[in-house]
Structure 1
Amino acid sequence: MAQNSSRAAGRHFLQIPGPTPVPDRILRAIDRPVIDHRGPEFSKMAKKALEGIKTIFKTTNPVIIFTATGTGAWEAALTNTLSPGDKVLMVETGQFATLWKKMAERLGLKPEFIPGDWRSGADPAAIEARLREDKAHEIKAVCVLHNETSTGCASDIAAIRKAIDAAGHPALYMVDTISSLASTDYRHDEWGVDVAVGGAQKGLMLPPGMSFNALSEKSIAASKTSKLPKSFFAWDDMLNMNKVGFFPYTPATLMLGGLVEGIEMLHEEGLDNVFARHDRLGEAVRRAVKHWGLEMLCRDPKYYSSTVTAIFLPEGHDADAFRALALETFNISYGASFGPFAGKYFRIGHLGDTNDATIIGALAATEMALSLAGVPHKKGGVQAAMDYFITAHSAPARAAAE
């Protein structure tokens, strides 16, 4: 029998920060016959999905579901609320903030970038200072990433809302939650966000191809006077059809069934437990990295992400070559590097339907790959992570006993 050298035994460790592995329950929910997207069975399912996703964004306002990746939801947020030539304030937190800025330029907007070094989250004070300078209120929107997937730096969305209010500025507040939604606490209504952009392929555990705009009354009002062209992404058609459980065009019917299942799974675990789990997994990864003696791209602990950690390799070691070695030898995939640090770091995703044991396995593969690649490091990072997990799980038991 001819040997098939392309097959790797066992499960693949997909440790990129999304898309994340799709759980069996969601796969089974998607694996069903296609139904009539104009029939009563679909309407019932769609209404359940549309109401359920509100609980994940923590909003009572509408959430629009697009058959598109997060990039489409970026575009929808801008085109539905703004007009040609509008000024938009953005923050250079990394690759995806940069791409959102480029999109704004292509759409005929005038984005202004608050410069950054890709090693921290957005600074509320810098945003407030710039808005205070804008006496004529020419800036029509402030756009920030809750979690910069390319760097492992998170931003304080509530603090930025306070900064906008302190400046007394009427700009719309737009937040990208693509790599934080359903993994890190996000409160759309409480934090006064006008448009949140989300994706289904990370914390919601679905395959790629579904994204969201969570709205506010202010953003809906803005959409009525927006002059940027939109058709597929137009909110008005979606809002009207969603009221009766339908869409203005053929939606991703099977994905909606998977979304309902994913939302149910998140609530079965409990959102606070989901957030605590991701906090725990992120801390374990960081402890391993620190023990190895490697440097993280995110410099300040107050910006640490609970969903992804970016790790520098020492000078003279190529991160892309390291990723290729790890994939070939241990069947593990890491996130790539970007921009000014391209080839210098790799990213470990620790989000979605994952747990302590999976992360330990990923860290073990990483430590072995570091050795094979000849990367200088102190052995025992996996043990440091395990010790942290043991402490994290025993602390509640001790507190209960006391």
Structure 2
Amino acid sequence: MLSNGRPYLAIPGPSVMPDRVLNAMHRAAPNIYTGELIDMTASILPDLRAVARTDHQVAIYIVNGHGAWEAALSNVVAPGDTVLVLATGRFGHGWGEMADGLGVTVETLDFGDEQAIDLGAVEKRLAQDKDGRIKAVLAVFVDTSTGIKNDIKGLRDVMDLSGHGALLMADCIASLGCDRFEMDAWGVDVTIAASQKGLMTPPGLGFVWFNSKAAAVRAQMPRVSRYWDWTPRANPDGYWQHFDGTAPTHHLFGLRAALDMIKEEGLENVWHRHETLARAIWAACEVWGQGGPLKLNVANPVQRSHAVTSIGIGSPDGDRLRAWLEQVAGVTLGIGLGREPADAYFRIGHMGHVNAHMVLGVLACLDAGLVALDIPHGKGAVAAATQLIADGSRVAIAPAACTAKQCCG
């Protein structure tokens, strides 16, 4: 079969793990009381703040993204409090469900599966909340199920215009290290993320960044469970308090390597790489769609994520195409998550450790699958993606980083 060889995982998380990260984890367990692990963890914290573009505090949890949802909520809302959830896909609703499970009253503004948050509708709702009943606004920056990217800075602006004092909480699980995010400059009070997407580390670590406003809310909470409490994690008296027990040793070694890779490339360059590769995928999809049913889930390019692209193609061709790619070409695409019918959609993850040949390989295999399955489609999609990457490379390569004559003269 043509799939024999190294398979490629093009799902939107867990993302491709760099060999450098895997090699860093392939070692004996360290001393968890003194020595290199303690020093290395101290070096990780400022780099996590740098990736989120904040000068504020960060807590690390041994959890997945759902655990990070609960950790963030547990520190700032109590049973009976109200949160406003702004949903643009399955994970917006999921965060609301987590809050509901904690006894929090959840009010949801659902903007559907193809459009970003309507900031005017949010401003109107907050203006109606004269008594400040809403304690926090929950927004997913990029919803993995739909590929929608929301305007978090614009959301802060309308919250300020309405004079509302709610916390702004942003889920950056799918987007951190992929799409430009500026926690402090955009006025975000609480940010959450996880290790397995743009941070290129196996699933198992969750992160919560919080500013002084959120810390003040935490200080007024009647009770926070010892495990979820972010205060000792961010300001420990002893190393063990970072994790409320044994440290996730090998995940930390992997995370250290991943953060080193981001620092070496430069976060601005990381963002540019993701943008260029995402635009190449969109270019191919737009060509395919000119001669068949395939369409990008998000029509407005400004509202599309640079980390994941959701694509509709009609039932059951989404599942047929995914099966062909995995079984024949060795490429695994993401399922149609949170959309109905699910077999009419598929998703491409392009986050973290991903480059031009990976993306072009996925697109070429997709093109072959469309042909093999007799799914109508426009011709020339891979050429369109190739041209976009060629054009993007002229912008991306700085003279100091390039020694080839043909690039820099």
Q: TM-score, normalised by structure 1?
A: 0.94
The residue number in structure 2 matching 1:269 is 265
Partners of 2:397 and 2:301 in 1: how far apart?
Answer: 27
Q: What per-residue deviation string (whole Å, max 9, x for no partner) do you get for residues 322-372 of structure 1?
A: 212211111111111133422221001111111111100000111111222
The offset of 1:41, in angstroms, is 2.2
| Residue aligned with 2:236, SS | helix
Q: What per-residue deviation string (whole Å, max 9, x for no partner) do you get for residues 149-173 of structure 1?
A: 1111101111111111111000011
- From 101, 114, 121, the counterpart of 1:119: 114
- From 134, 149, 152, the counterpart of 1:154: 149
For structure 2, list consecutive stretches of 5 or more residues without a partner in the other structure.
400-406
CA contact 1:84–1:228 (8 Å) conserved in 2 = no
The residue number in structure 2 matching 1:344 is 344
1:332-371 alignment, distance < 5 Å: 332-341=331-340, 342-371=342-371
Partners of 1:243 and 1:142 in 2: how far apart?
Answer: 33
CA contact 2:178–2:307 (8 Å) conserved in 1 = yes
- Residue 88, structure 1, aligned to residue 83, structure 2: yes
Between stretches 166-175 and 365-374, larger displacement belongs to: 365-374
The residue number in structure 1 matching 2:100 is 105
Cα RMSD of the aligned pairs, angstroms, is 2.2
For structure 1, list consecutive stretches of 5 or more residues without a partner in the other structure.
none
The residue number in structure 2 matching 1:177 is 172
Between stretches 51-60 and 224-233, larger displacement belongs to: 224-233
Partners of 1:229 and 1:372 in 2: how far apart?
Answer: 56
Partners of 2:346 and 2:310 in 1: how far apart?
Answer: 6
- From 288, 293, 316, the counterpart of 1:292: 288
Partners of 1:319 and 1:329 in 2: how far apart?
Answer: 15
Partners of 2:133 and 2:87 in 1: how far apart?
Answer: 20
The residue number in structure 2 matching 1:308 is 308
Partners of 2:392 and 2:167 in 1: how far apart?
Answer: 40
Structure 2 letter corresponding to 1:273: N
Between stretches 127-136 and 294-303, larger displacement belongs to: 294-303
Partners of 2:119 and 2:343 in 1: how far apart?
Answer: 30
CA contact 1:38–1:246 (8 Å) conserved in 2 = no
Partners of 2:394 and 2:252 in 1: how far apart?
Answer: 39
Partners of 2:3 and 2:237 in 1: how far apart?
Answer: 44
Q: What per-residue deviation string (whole Å, max 9, x for no partner) do you get for residues 101-155 of structure 1?
A: 1111111111111122210222222211110110000000000011111111101
> How many aligned residue pairs are there?
396
Partners of 1:223 and 1:29 in 2: how far apart?
Answer: 36
Partners of 1:205 and 1:123 in 2: how far apart?
Answer: 32
Partners of 2:309 and 2:22 in 1: how far apart?
Answer: 27
Question: Sequence identity of aligned pairs in percent?
Answer: 35
The offset of 1:228, in angstroms, is 5.8
- From 17, 23, 35, the counterpart of 1:22: 17
Partners of 2:238 and 2:269 in 1: how far apart?
Answer: 32
Structure 2 letter corresponding to 1:98: H
The offset of 1:304, in angstroms, is 1.2
The offset of 1:18, in angstroms, is 1.1
| Residue aligned with 1:339, SS | coil
- From 72, 85, 91, the counterpart of 1:77: 72
Structure 1 letter corresponding to 2:347: R
Q: TM-score, normalised by structure 2?
A: 0.92
The offset of 1:373, in angstroms, is 2.2
1:3-402 alignment, distance < 5 Å: 8-227=3-222, 229-241=224-236, 247=242, 248-293=244-289, 294-314=294-314, 316-341=315-340, 342-394=342-394
CA contact 1:46–1:246 (8 Å) conserved in 2 = no
Structure 1 letter corresponding to 2:105: K
